[in-house]
Amino acid sequence: MTKNIPRIGSRRNRRIGSRKNGRRIPKGVIHVQASFNNTIVTVTDIRGRVVSWASAGTCGFRGRRRGTPFAAQTAAANAIRTVVDQGMQRAEVMVKGPGLGRDAALRAIRRSGILVNFVRDVTPIPHNGCRPPKKRRI
């Protein structure tokens, strides 16, 4: 049993250059995850493949300022700027979490020129989930 040795000249057939700019995405999904400490905005296509993302931390905010509405607004604008160049016109928005950046990110999405089909709150809510710890006795 011998192994096939790959040919050296087989790279000629492949496409050269970045594929990222060649994709056209007319419709997508924008996920906003707003915690008390940070806000993460992820833009995906309909199938769920990530196209662009940004967070308050990657926008240069550190510490307590990451949880502010202004940081969330900046993160949403940065994430959307790249997909608008790729041709996104319509989007669905999924908002998750209790943070301060929920409304600010939504305002930034509306201001960017993308038509928002609907906004859905996908915050996980327990149906009386885990058992609480036992009472403290002093």
User: Is it the case that residue 86 has pLDDT exceeding 80?
Assistant: yes
The reported pTM is 0.77
CATH for the stretch 27-121: 3.30.420.80
Domain boundaries, the chain: 27-121
For the chain, what is the HEC assignment? CCCCCCCHHHHHHCCCCCCCCCCCCCEEEEEEEECCCCEEEEEEECCCCEEEEEECCCCCCCHHHHHCHHHHHHHHHHHHHHHHHCCCCEEEEEEECCCCHHHHHHHHHHHCCCEEEEEEECCCCCCCCCCCCCCCCC
Report the pLDDT value the prediction gives residue 26, as an integer from 0 to 100.
87
pLDDT-derived band of residue 8, with 50, 70 and 90 as boundaries? Answer: low
